[in-house]
Amino acid sequence: MKNTDRARRIEALNTSRIEAINEHDLYRVGYLESALTPAWEVTRYTDAARTYEVMVDEYDWSCTCPACKRDSHCKHVEIVRLHVEAMNALEARADAFDQDAAHCLGTGKF
């Protein structure tokens, strides 16, 4: 990949990320248990017709929306990535909470 192509891709990904940060609370994200590869349904709260499926495989992220088909990236992928990051952070926090509770129970200290 040429440097100019790479720079354009990074700029496009950055634009999608900023859109996702600004709009992620407008969308509901649900993990699709039945999918063959990890996949999520992304639905705009105010317009259920705008529901898209975001998938990831060993090669890349993809989405069923028109923007992703046209440009190979979109805000829905970034919304899912923000969602996954938030879920991972919550799980880590829950684990730390349990460890703190066990420690406190064993020692009487926090």
* Nearest-angstrom CA–CA distance, 4 and 107: 59
- Count of residues interacting with Zn ion (CB under 5 A): 6
76 contributes a contact to Zn ion by CB under 5 A: yes
Segment lying near Zn ion (by CB under 5 A), choices 3-11, 20-28, 31-39, 73-81: 73-81
* Interface segment toward Zn ion; rule CB under 5 A; list 11-19, 28-36, 48-56, 87-95: 48-56
CA torsion sign for 49, 70, 28, 58 is: positive
- Work out which of 63, 79, 81, 83 binds Zn ion, going by CB under 5 A: 63
Cβ-based nearer residue to Zn ion, 71 or 85: 71
Q: How far apart are the first and last CA of the chain?
A: 52
Burial 85-103 (b: 16+ CB within 10 A, else e): eeeeeeeeeeeeeeeeeee
Using CB under 5 A as the criterion, which residues of the chain lie in contact with Zn ion when the complex forms? Answer: 52, 63, 65, 68, 74, 76
